[in-house]
Amino acid sequence: MNLATSSGTVRVPIALNERSYDIVIGSGLLADDACWDGLPASADALIVSNTTVAPLYAQALATRLSQRHRRVLQVQLPDGEAHKDWATLNLVFDALLGAGCDRKTVLYALGGGVVGDITGFAAACYMRGVPFVQVPTTLLAQVDSSVGGKTAVNHPLGKNMVGAFYQPARVICDLAMLNTLPPRELSAGLAEVIKYGPIADAEFLAWLETHVEDLRALEPRALAHAVQRSCEIKAWVVGQDERENGLRAILNFGHTFGHAIEAGLGYGQWLHGEAIGCGMVLAAELSARLGLVAPAFVPRLTQLIQRAGLPVQAPVMPGARWLELMRVDKKSEAGEIRFVLLDGVGRAQMRGAPDALVLDVIAAHTSTD
Ligand code: NAD
Ligand code: GLY
């Protein structure tokens, strides 16, 4: 159930017993008192942002938070996936300990998925756990990474390999903040929006086919609907399987291939969402080759991903390298690579596939230019 407020702001609840919280979606939320009511009270707050986002929004957020906290501190992390590591995580602890912050301090993650994942992990660890609030500023973070409590940093041997499940106290999605997002980043976010259609909602997929250009143009009604529907689906999945013992894995559609692309090319070469976009094409093709979805679905999904401004041809990497990288995936079991594949349109399942078939699928979608 979603609750629309008089200001047009929507709240999507995420039901996790004592860890339940709301995802608030609207425009201009820094000025919306109701959006901030009821958050954890504390003397200190730390805004964690990066060198790109902080100059845009940190001062406005600090002004809002100064109504709730006696001290509002800030730390700016270096920008980019290449900095999603242990050294950057330590900068958050340096800021907290350097300022003498206690175990009630509230962390506010102001940024995209990289800032959100690092801040959440820092919150899980600092003094064995302090509250944190997600203020996601990319489309990808608003529809996926800020919701559901997965936090992590990368290890040179694998993406998101060191982290924790740790839920935020609230997620505040201010759609107005997307106005400054570069178009390439907006497209990357659309990959995670599109993902929800094939795995959970055929009707949403059809809606996206009609509205993808509106989303690229940041048309407000289309954007609000896409963020809300994505968050509803994610909240539904996470509410049933917080720690990914089963169902939650479907949110990784395209990710086994995508994570291999990111790690194989070096973090930051392809954006996360770009790698997932291409990964979804490969996962759809593998599903079709296994008879799980009609072959015609592959060009249908490919076309939508392309219209979203995302790559649909895989990068050139030796087959053995693809397999090696995909075996590091967290879904692998006893060395067997497991994929999220489709089960018709609007449903997904996990399963393995023969290496030769997987390599054939990759070859069929690799650019030879
Ligand atoms: P990102 O955090 O690197 O942000 C993308 C770029 O946009 C950065 O340069 C950032 O500084 C800039 N930016 C952010 N907001 C802006 C704004 N409003 N205006 C202008 N520039 C802005 O990338 P992302 O795509 O947001 O997130 C990708 C990360 O999320 C990956 O590390 C991925 O592993 C993670 N992720 C996590 C989950 C999860 O469940 N925790 C889910 C999906 C992805
Ligand atoms: N983005 C995948 C998940 O949250 O489980």
SS3 (DSSP) at 312: coil
pTM: 0.96
Residue 33 has pLDDT above 70, yes or no: yes
Summary mean pLDDT of the chain: 95
| pLDDT on residue 41 | 87
Predicted confidence band of residue 252 (pLDDT cuts 50, 70, 90): very high
| pLDDT on residue 247 | 96
- Expressed in percent and rounded to 5, the helix, strand and coil fractions of the chain are 50, 20, 30
CA of 137 to the centre of ligand 1 (A): 8
Predicted confidence band of residue 1 (pLDDT cuts 50, 70, 90): low
Predicted confidence band of residue 4 (pLDDT cuts 50, 70, 90): low
**Considering every ligand atom, which ligand is closest to the CA of 120?**
1
How far is 267 from 260, CA to CA, in rounded Å?
Answer: 10
Annotate 223-265 with DSSP letters as a single string. HHHHHHHHHHHHHHHHHH-TT-SSGGGGGGTTHHHHHHHHHHH
Residue 3 has pLDDT above 80, yes or no: no
How far is 116 from 110, CA to CA, in rounded Å?
Answer: 7
Residue 6 has pLDDT above 60, yes or no: no
244 is annotated as an active-site residue = yes
285 is annotated as an active-site residue = no
Instruction: Name the residue of 14, 146, 150 to mutate for ligand 2: max ligand atoms within 8 A of Cβ.
Output: 150
CA of 114 to the centre of ligand 1 (A): 5
| pLDDT on residue 333 | 78
Pocket flag, ligand 2, residue 248 (CB < 6 Å): yes
Question: Which one has a higher pLDDT value, 263 or 147?
Answer: 147
252 is annotated as an active-site residue = yes
Residue 360 has pLDDT above 70, yes or no: yes
CA of 232 to the centre of ligand 1 (A): 20
Which whole number is the average pLDDT over 330-353?
91
192 is annotated as an active-site residue = yes
| Distance set, CA 111 to CA 116, 133, 166 (Å) | 6, 11, 18
Predicted confidence band of residue 266 (pLDDT cuts 50, 70, 90): confident
Q: Among 259, 289, 330, 338, which one carries the catalytic annotation?
A: 259
Written in H, E and C, the secondary structure of 328-352 is CCCCCECCECCEEEECCCCCEEEEC
**Considering every ligand atom, which ligand is closest to the CA of 235?**
2
The two beta strands, 106-111 and 170-174, are: unpaired
Structural tokens at position 3: 């609750």
Pocket flag, ligand 2, residue 144 (CB < 6 Å): yes
Phi-psi region of 344 (alpha: psi -120 to 50; beta: other; left: phi over 0): left
Residue 67 has pLDDT above 80, yes or no: yes
Structural tokens at position 312: 């649909």
CATH code of the domain made up of 183-364: 1.20.1090.10
The residue extents of the domains of the chain are 3-179, 183-364
Predicted confidence band of residue 2 (pLDDT cuts 50, 70, 90): low
How far is 47 from 119, CA to CA, in rounded Å?
Answer: 9
Residue 219 has pLDDT above 90, yes or no: yes
SS3 (DSSP) at 359: helix
Out of 3.40.920.10, 3.90.650.10, 3.40.50.1970, 3.10.20.600, which CATH number does the structure's domain 3-179 have? 3.40.50.1970
